[in-house]
Structure 1
Amino acid sequence: MDAVARPAIRGEGTAEAEWNGWPVLAALPRIDARTLVPRNARAVVVAPHPDDEVLSVGGLLAQLADAGARIEVIAVTDGTASHDGSTEWPAERLAKERPLESRLALERLGLPVEPVRLGLPDGGLAAVRGTLAARLVSLLRPRDVVFTTWRRDGHPDHEATGQACALACAAAGARLAEVPVWGWHWSHPGDTRMPWRHAVRIDLDEEAMRRKRAAVQAFTSQLRRDASTGAGPVLRATTVARAGRPYEVVFL
C-alpha cells in the first residue's frame, strides 16, 4: 500500500461497541493457542514499537506462557518518535522509558523475557525495510510462528515491519501471522479493505484478559496527556478499550 492509499489515522476511531455488535467477529473460525503455535514451534513477536507486542497479541502471549511455549520478542524500534515536539517526552527520555515499559508489560503477561532490540529508527522503517528483513532472517528459525503488524495496517512503520517479516519468513521457513492494530481504528464492520477471509479468532480466558489489561497500563508514556504540547494520550481510549476484548484476531 502506498502513501496515497494508506488510510488516515485520526480521532478516536471506530467505537468498540460498533465492533462488538458485528456478528461476523463472533462467527470467525476459532483457533487455540497451542494449535496456532505447536509444541515443536516457537512464537516470535516482532513489534515495530514498544506496546505493539501487547496490543496485538498480549492475550495470546499470556496463554502461551502458561502453556510453557518458547517465546521470543523482537523490538524493532525503541519508540522514540511517539511525542513529536515534546519537551516532557524528548527522544532521549523515551529511549530509556519505553523499553522499561515494555519489559514491565511482558512481566505482567507472565513473560520474564528481555526483547531483542534492533534499534532501528522510529518513523523511518520504510527506508530500512531491506535491512530489517535481513536482520530478521538471522534471528528466525524454521517452524517459528511469527506475529507482527499487518502489512496494510495504516501506519508506515507497521506496514514496513509486516512487509519485512513476510520476506524474512519466506527465507527462513517460518509461518507468518499478521495482526491489525491501527486497522481496527480506521476500519469499520464490513470494510472490504480488511482480509476477513484470512482472519481467525483466539478466545482469551479471564486470566489472559486480566494480564493483558494490566500490561497495557504499563505504557505510562503513551497513556498520559503531554503537558508540554497539550496533546492527548498516544493510546486513545478506543485503543485501550480494544485491549479488553475477550478475543484477538490474526490474519493467516
Structure 2
Amino acid sequence: MRPGSFVAELGSTVVVAPHPDDEALGCGGLLALLGQTGNPVTAVLVSDGTMSHPASELFSALARRAVRETEFRHALSILGTDAVEPLLLGLPDSRVPATTNEPSFVQAVAQLQDFLIAQQAATVVVPWRRDPHPDHRATSHLVQAALASMPNPPRRLEYVVWAWERAAPADLPTAADEVRGFQLDIAAVVGLKQRAIAAHRSQVAPGIFTDDPGGFLLSKEMLAHFSGPYEVYFEALVP
C-alpha cells in the first residue's frame, strides 16, 4: 500500500477518461490527493458520453453530451482539479477509434500529444490497457500512440474500472505487460471521491435521462467497488 503522500512525486499530471465518470470512479482519490498537493493537474475526456441513454427523446444527443460534460466539470471541481481547462476530444461514445486506419484516431493522437506537451506532463493516468470495455481499450491505444513519438514520454499509471466486474483471465496483467501493481491509500479523501461520483447524476439512480428505461445506470454492486479506502494502479515499467 502506497501512502497518499505518494502522489506528490507524480509532478504535473494528466488524467485521461474514456467517459464522464471514469475519472471519478477509477482515480477520483488520486485526483483529490493531487488537488491538495498543488501539483498541476488536468484531465482529458475522450468520448462524448451520449450513448448511456441513446433512446432518450427528451434529450437529444447534443443535450446528453452537454449534461455529461457539465457533470465531468463538476466532478473535477469537487476534486479540486479544475484550474486548467480540460481537453474534450468529443469522440463517439461506444465507437472510440482504436487504430491508425481511422482518421479520427490520428487526429485524436495529435491533439492528445499536443496537450501533454503543453501541460508539461510528468505523469499520465489512463485506463488499464485491457479494461474490458472497448472505449477503455481504445483510449489506452490512443495514449500509447501519443507517447510513442514523444522523446521523453511521461510516467504512465493505469487504473481499472470495468475489470472489477467483467475481467476474464486474459484481461489481467502478466509478466509480459511489464507493469508493477500497487494500491494507493485514499482514506483521507474517500468523501471527496464519493461526492465526485455522485456529481454524475445521469449515471446514478434515479438518473436524469428518465425516458430511456433501458439506459445505463451504475449499479449498487458496481459502485461498491469504488467505495473503499484504496485505489488500484498498474505502473508501466517501460515507456
Take 2:7 and 2:143, find their aligned partners in 1: how far apart are those partners? 17
Take 2:191 and 2:56, find their aligned partners in 1: how far apart are those partners? 32
- Contact 2:52/2:216, CA 8 A, preserved across alignment: no
What SS does structure 1 have at the residue aligned with 2:52? coil
Give 2:156's aligned amino acid. Answer: L
Give 2:200's aligned amino acid. Answer: F
Unaligned stretches of 5+ residues in structure 2:
none
Unaligned stretches of 5+ residues in structure 1:
1-29
- Contact 1:129/1:160, CA 8 A, preserved across alignment: no
Of 206, 209, 230 in structure 1, the residue corresponding to residue 190 of structure 2 is 209
Name the structure 1 match of 2:155. Answer: 175
Q: Counterparts in 2 of 1:104-119, with a 5 A limit?
A: 104-113=74-83, 114-119=85-90
Take 2:91 and 2:160, find their aligned partners in 1: how far apart are those partners? 21
Take 2:205 and 2:111, find their aligned partners in 1: how far apart are those partners? 33
- Contact 1:169/1:176, CA 8 A, preserved across alignment: no
The CA deviation string for residues 50-105 of structure 1, in whole angstroms up to 9 with x for no partner, is: 11111111001111111111101111122112112222443122111111111111
Name the structure 1 match of 2:214. Answer: 231
**Equivalent pairs, count:** 219
Of 103, 112, 121 in structure 2, the residue corresponding to residue 136 of structure 1 is 112
Name the structure 1 match of 2:140. Answer: 162
| TM, length-normalised to structure 1 | 0.78
Q: Does 1:70 align with 2:40?
A: yes
| TM, length-normalised to structure 2 | 0.82
Query: What root-mean-square deviation, in Å, do the aligned CA atoms of Structure 1 and Structure 2 show?
Result: 2.2
Of 222, 231, 234 in structure 2, the residue corresponding to residue 248 of structure 1 is 231
- Contact 1:150/1:180, CA 8 A, preserved across alignment: yes
What SS does structure 1 have at the residue aligned with 2:9? coil
Residues 68, 186 of structure 1: CA spacing in aligned structure 2 closer, same or farther, 3 A cutoff? same
Name the structure 2 match of 1:123. Answer: 94
